[in-house]
Amino acid sequence: MSYAVEVSDLTFAYEREPILERINFRMETSDFMAIIGPNGGGKSTFLKLLVGLLSPKQGTIKIFGEPPQKIRGILGYVPQNTHINIEFPIRVLDVVLMGYHEGKRPLFGYNELEKKRATEALEKVGLAHRLHAKIGALSGGERQRVMIARALCGSPKLLILDEPTSNLDIEGQKSIYTLLQHLNKHIPVIVVSHDISVILEYANKVAYINRRLTFHDISDKNRVFHTHGLEEHFCEVELLQMLGADGCDRCNGTSFQTEKSK
């Protein structure tokens, strides 16, 4: 069987201590994969390895059977938006056109076909009417949609997003995930997220990364939380909200070891 992503025995370290250790990961072409885990657990590093911005110290990464550096053109990537200057003087269309950079000639502008496709990408994310708006005039959710449109330029075969819903309210998060779910009808999607309660409603697979990686059966949310001690990262009230009004059917939320009670 051919996989969209196949990672074998991956180990990575920025310095001596490994950030990721002996990671094995497979993803099918129809998957909507959520990657969860604590801060500093290696989630973003894992994505950077998948798109070829970092190279593994050990192990292999194959995207559609090829190393990521060879097929960057078919990867749609939405990096974390924390480093982006929202005051930057640039129009929405120009941000999306950046997705077409590869192989461009110097000096000359983008051609009409590229502009048409960029407009189509903006239509897909519901922002065709903001084509000429300055990026800073958009809301946080709209800006994330622009980043997704940029990632869609060049018709990617895999979409990878690093915390696309950070700083968005629940409605904003749901709107982004609904869009990703729609896109997932055509391409596999990998999303790193902290919004566990929301992402679990949309993803069909969940991987938990904290130096090591483990897969979860998405049908049992309680197990997702309990297996990896996720309860330790949230207070009781937050966990009850995540697991629904009934709380956890194993412990009913009462046995969680909470940050506040420690």
Partner 1 sequence: MIEALQFPFFQHAIVAGILVSLAAGIIGSLIVVNRMVFLSGGIAHASYGGIGMALYFGIPVFLGASLFAVAAAMLIAYLTLHDKTRSDTFIGLIWAVGMAIGVIFTDMTPGYHTDLMSYLFGSILAVTDTDLWMTTTLLGVIVTVVLFRYREIVAVSYDSEFAMLRGISVSFYHTLMLVLSALTVVIAIKVVGLILVIAMLTIPVYIAEKIARSLWQMMILSGVFCLIFTLSGLWLSYRYDLTSGASIILVSAAALILFVSVRHLTKKIVKQ
Is there binding between residue 91 and partner 1 (CB under 8 A)? yes
Smaller CB distance to partner 1: residue 1 or 103? 103
Parallel/antiparallel/unpaired status of strands 32-36 and 189-192: parallel
Is there binding between residue 53 and partner 1 (CB under 8 A)? yes
CB of 80 to partner 1, least distance (A): 8
What whole-number distance in Å separates Cα of residue 21 and Cα of residue 212? 6
Smaller CB distance to partner 1: residue 152 or 230? 152
Q: Is 22 exposed, middle or buried (0-12, 13-18, 19+ CB in 10 A)?
A: middle
CB of 169 to partner 1, least distance (A): 23
End-to-end CA distance of the chain: 47
Contact pattern for partner 1 over residues 128 through 157, marking x by CB under 8 A? ----x-x---------------x-------
Q: Which of 6, 11, 28, 52 binds partner 1 (CB under 8 A)?
A: 52
Q: What is the DSSP string of 106-132?
A: SS----HHHHHHHHHHHHHTT-GGGTT
Q: Which of 30, 88, 229, 251 binds partner 1 (CB under 8 A)?
A: 88
Is there binding between residue 245 and partner 1 (CB under 8 A)? no
Q: Which of 51, 127, 138, 149 binds partner 1 (CB under 8 A)?
A: 51
What whole-number distance in Å separates Cα of residue 94 and Cα of residue 2? 36
Instruction: Name the nearest CA neighbour of 96 among 117, 79, 118.
Output: 118
Tokens in use for 249? 């059917």
**Which region among 9-17, 100-108, 163-171, 222-230 touches partner 1 (by CB under 8 A)?**
100-108
59 phi-psi bin (left φ>0, alpha ψ -120 to 50, beta other): left
CB of 149 to partner 1, least distance (A): 13
Parallel/antiparallel/unpaired status of strands 158-162 and 189-192: parallel
**Which region among 89-97, 188-196, 207-215, 234-242 touches partner 1 (by CB under 8 A)?**
89-97
**Which region among 3-11, 69-77, 119-127, 185-193 touches partner 1 (by CB under 8 A)?**
69-77
Provide the b/e sequence for 205-226 (b: ≥16 CB within 10 Å): bbbbbbbbbeebebeebeebbb
Cβ neighbours of residue 31 closer than 8 Å, sequence gap 6 or more: 4, 184, 188, 189, 204, 205
Smaller CB distance to partner 1: residue 62 or 134? 134
**Which region among 85-93, 120-128, 184-192, 224-232 touches partner 1 (by CB under 8 A)?**
85-93
Q: Which residues bind partner 1 (CB under 8 A)?
A: 51-53, 72, 75, 77, 79, 83-85, 87-91, 94-95, 98-99, 101-102, 104, 106-107, 132, 134, 150
